Structure 1
Amino acid sequence: MSTLAAPLALVLAMSLTACGSDDADPPSSSQGATQDGDTVAVTVTREGDEFTPNGERVELGVDQTLVLTIESDEAGELHVHSTPEQEIAYDAGTSEHELVIDRPGVVEVESHEPDVVLLQLEVR
């Protein structure tokens, strides 16, 4: 085993162990996300083919509500690659949508047209 492989294996093992944590405190929110008790709020903005955020990681507790406010200049659809997968259709203007993920892991929220990953939900 190379000198880099052993520390990498240790880090990976520790990160997998951390996923099974039973901490009572909800995870902290990431930049661009706000947390209010049992909910985390994120605003998604679409102007043409440009989205904000773009690939941001947001920490979320299992069964914690994510409130997505979508501000868009045109109608579209977001895909949430959870189990089961979820779709969020939105119209032009401002709309609000709630998501709850009931399993730990990393869940991507993306647009397929254009193909952009907006969020990576780190559910613990």
Structure 2
Amino acid sequence: MQRLRIGRALGAVLAGTLLLGTATACGSEDKTGSEETVVVDITVEGGEITPKGDRVKVSAGQPIDLVVTADTAGSLHMHSDPEQEFAYEAGTKTFPISIDRPGVIEVESHDPPQIIVQLEVR
């Protein structure tokens, strides 16, 4: 009996979520559907960058925000097709991206030379 109640409650929640998703999708130009934005926090402080080569799984076309918080100006380089470079100043800057093709895309720094994150696109 308890399973039935949980099942009904879960069904109601899912139905409500689907209705909400459908209502918010109407008239929207967002082609990614209900996929949430993946946020990758990158910190540049005292010549050190974190993360250090972490792998992040994302879906093809899923929105990604590279959020850089830095104590000095610099740039990120993304090994994609086409390759991209993102310059930033001291402070916080967000770079919205998405990747359409499956594969592993490296985001790196040239100064200091380091792979910051690997985006595993499925």
TM-score of the aligned structures, taking structure 1 as reference length: 0.69
- In the other structure, the counterpart of 1:82 is 80
- In the other structure, the counterpart of 1:29 is none
Of the candidates 48, 64, 67, which is equivalent to residue 66 of structure 1?
64
Identity between Structure 1 and Structure 2 (%) = 53
- In the other structure, the counterpart of 1:118 is 116
Distance 2:35 2:100 in 1: 17
TM-score of the aligned structures, taking structure 2 as reference length: 0.70
Structure 1 portions without partners, runs of 5+: 1-35
- In the other structure, the counterpart of 1:108 is 106
The total of aligned residue pairs comes to 89
Correspondences of 1:12-27 after superposition (within 5 Å): none
Q: What is the CA distance between 1:102 and its match in structure 2?
A: 1.2
Structure 2 portions without partners, runs of 5+: 1-33
**1:102 partner letter:** D
- In the other structure, the counterpart of 1:52 is 50
Q: Is the 8 A contact 2:55 2:119 kept in 1?
A: yes
Which of the pair is proportionally richer in helix? 2
Q: What is the CA distance between 1:48 and its match in structure 2?
A: 2.5
Q: Is the 8 A contact 2:35 2:62 kept in 1?
A: no
Distance 2:100 2:81 in 1: 9
Q: Is the 8 A contact 2:62 2:99 kept in 1?
A: yes
**2:111 partner letter:** E
How much is the aligned-residue C-alpha RMSD, in angstroms?
1.2
Structure 1 runs of 4+ with >3 Å offset: none
Distance 2:35 2:46 in 1: 33
- In the other structure, the counterpart of 2:15 is none
Which of the pair is proportionally richer in strand? 1
Q: What is the CA distance between 1:54 and its match in structure 2?
A: 0.6
